[in-house]
Structure 1
Amino acid sequence: MNYTLHQLEIFKKIAEVKSVTKASEQLFLTQPAVSIQLKNFQDQFKLPLFEVVGRKLYITEFGEEIAKAATKILEEVDAINYKSSLFEGKLAGKLTLSIVSTAKYAMPYFLSGFIKENEMVDVTMDVTNKMSVIRALENNECDFAMVSTIPKKLKIESIELMKNKMVFVAGKNYNFPKEGINYKNLNKSIFIFREQGSATRLAMEKYLIKNKIEIARKMELTSNEAVKQAVIAGLGISIMPIIGINYALQNGDLQVLKIKGLPLETYWNLIWLKSKNLSNVAKAFIEYMKNNKDEIIEKEFRKFNNSSKY
């Protein structure tokens, strides 16, 4: 037999997702390339690794055993590469992050340079709501979290990153009252909220309560992207972070409702538990962020921080 590590990786992924198409997408390969490697791998065995019934792919019992063996082999290869990197003085290991959903527009830019400098570092990033992020941090399920509101009940260390500006937005066909927008006539609209536990929702609720804005009708959606699409479709209005809607504003799909007291401003923060026993990878990431965050913010986010048009 003369199969390659690349073929093992491809078959392992196909066995996981039960689809050549999905495997090709997750491996960032073309579907024909994956199909060719699968055929070449299968040709080295007398027994079938899979079968196609209708349009669905099924892994045979023999194929499942080969997939398990492939997993063990690839894990050993990773271990060899990891040990080799350590002896060569390279940084190797895992970095785990839990971030609130709107932070997904920012964190990749902070990670990019670090990952390019350290090829043996693997990153796992969970994108969820604020409550789940804090829970993951509290339960030591992640190295770092990225939030706009620092939890008071936890003893943490933090690095302040960038401004998080939030504005009231409506769809392009929003009917502006003749007398102009004010707190009283806002209540004629449907208010679109994020789910409970979202920092964006909390900021929106505080603003509405502070300014005694009545809510006659409301809608609740579970992601920032869903809220954006609902507002674009004209279902209602909402307070949203500019960083997640910039292109929709530029394209004219959304428009900012200029109301007193806006934009709201908070700061994104990278946080971690004071008591956490940080790995060498985590320590290196902290140093990288301290040394490079200002340059990254200036290069990638200046338009959000310095813009006065909102």
Structure 2
Amino acid sequence: MRNLTLRQLRTLQAIAEHGKIVNAAKALGLTAPAVTIQLRQLEEELGLELFDRTATGMRPTAAGLVATDAAQAIEERLRLMVDAIDAIKGVRAGSLRLGVVSTAKYFAPRMMAAFMREHPDIEMHLLVGNRAETIDNLKSHAVDVALMGRPPKGGVPVEAVPFGDHPLVIVAPPDHPLADVHDIPKKRIAGENFLIRERGSGTRISLEIFFSDIPGRVDNLGLEMDSNETIKQAVMAGLGIAFISAHTIEAEVEAGRLVILDVAGLPIRRQWFAVRRSDRSISPTMAAFHDFLTRKGAAQLPLVGKLYPADAVSPTV
């Protein structure tokens, strides 16, 4: 173990990420034989094969997964060391990898711009994905901080800090029969055709909770679509109604292309959370971003409160 090198560990990460020796070599700026030698030396040092050589590429073995996770952790610790040394030197530079669920992409650029105005020398990288992808990015150390509505429970140790309200509403096209109806009963709205996100998404989980007391409704929620944009377009086209984050529909409501239905018990108010791994040290850039969210995070969210009465907001679910 004493003879492991950073080059070997980075070679391991590249092969795991790209799946083939030739692709890993290209990413590292090396030749394929050089990458093969690095991998062979690493396997000899550990005494186990780290990849299964298959027709479709290199698949990590159990030992390979353990070694890759360790390599990622070492790389992360080195990056934290650089940030900490820069902080000691008084350097205000650094980098922050921000992961956001797809719903948060509507305000994340605004939030990044505001943060970077306060910290112009901090380089930021944005990675957008669905809930499952964002959690995977936390697990693999691909992001430093993730913005999401429901922090993960189990699988990865995290610390989650709320920074603003996240209201969820039901929207319909302006000519929908219920557009002008007040205090629509839950059972009445449950009879409508819903357009929904994929299984596991935070919005869908909240809708399942909302309809959980209506027998059989959760078993067949509606037509599944893969993005908020697709859902909004489908609602405007008259394909159904949608339970959606109010932070995604401000422009369409103001333009009169969508309306928020007045449903009893809605809006549901959740929270936006900044999530980080609790088993890793906080870098100076992460601390600066946390401080920014505490002070100004809520102010960067879309001003959706004007779209519905403030006293209509229901408890968090």
- How does the TM-score come out when normalised to structure 1? 0.63
Which whole-Å deviations, capped at 9, do the CAs of 1:140-195 have from their partners, x for residues lacking one? 11100111112221432232111111111111121239998444443553210111
CA distance in 1, matches of 2:243, 2:103: 13
Aligned match of 2:254 in 250, 256, 274? 250
Aligned position for 1:160 = 162
Give the drift of 1:111.
2.1
Give the conservation status (yes or no) of the 8 Å contact 1:168–1:257.
Answer: yes
What is the total number of aligned residue pairs between the two structures? 224
Give the drift of 1:212.
3.9
Aligned: 1:120 with 2:124: no
Aligned position for 1:56 = none
Q: Which moved more, 1:144-153 or 1:107-116?
A: 107-116
Give the drift of 1:302.
5.3
Which whole-Å deviations, capped at 9, do the CAs of 1:6-40 have from their partners, x for residues lacking one? xxxxxxxxxxxxxxxxxxxxxxxxxxxxxxxxxxx
Q: Mapping of 1:272-287 within 5 angstroms?
A: 272-287=276-291
CA distance in 2, matches of 1:200, 1:300: 17
Aligned: 1:174 with 2:173: no
Give the drift of 1:218.
2.4
Q: Secondary structure at the match of 2:212?
A: helix
The answer for unaligned runs of 5 or more in structure 1 is: 1-81
Q: Secondary structure at the match of 2:199?
A: coil
Residues 1:149 and 1:97: Cα distance change in structure 2 (over 3 Å): same
Letter matched to residue 228 of structure 2: N
Which whole-Å deviations, capped at 9, do the CAs of 1:250-303 have from their partners, x for residues lacking one? 22211122222111111001010111233332232223333x22xx52475555
Give the conservation status (yes or no) of the 8 Å contact 1:170–1:254.
Answer: yes
Q: Which moved more, 1:111-120 or 1:121-130?
A: 111-120
Give the drift of 1:129.
1.0
Q: Secondary structure at the match of 1:104?
A: helix
Letter matched to residue 119 of structure 1: P
Give the conservation status (yes or no) of the 8 Å contact 2:250–2:304.
Answer: no
Which whole-Å deviations, capped at 9, do the CAs of 1:212-263 have from their partners, x for residues lacking one? 4747782111111111111111110111111110121122211122222111
Give the conservation status (yes or no) of the 8 Å contact 1:184–1:213.
Answer: no
Aligned position for 2:292 = 288
Aligned match of 2:203 in 200, 205, 213? 200
Residues 1:301 and 1:204: Cα distance change in structure 2 (over 3 Å): same
Which whole-Å deviations, capped at 9, do the CAs of 1:74-96 have from their partners, x for residues lacking one? xxxxxxxx9xx989843222210
Give the drift of 1:108.
2.7
Aligned position for 1:150 = 151
The answer for unaligned runs of 5 or more in structure 2 is: 1-82, 313-317
Q: What fraction of aligned residue pairs are identical, expressed as a percent?
A: 27
Give the conservation status (yes or no) of the 8 Å contact 1:194–1:223.
Answer: yes
- How does the TM-score come out when normalised to structure 2? 0.62
Which whole-Å deviations, capped at 9, do the CAs of 1:64-119 have from their partners, x for residues lacking one? xxxxxxxxxxxxxxxxxx9xx98984322221011111112233333223212333
Letter matched to residue 191 of structure 1: F
Letter matched to residue 277 of structure 1: S
CA distance in 2, matches of 1:179, 1:305: 19
Aligned position for 2:110 = 109
CA distance in 1, matches of 2:147, 2:181: 41
Residues 1:167 and 1:89: Cα distance change in structure 2 (over 3 Å): same
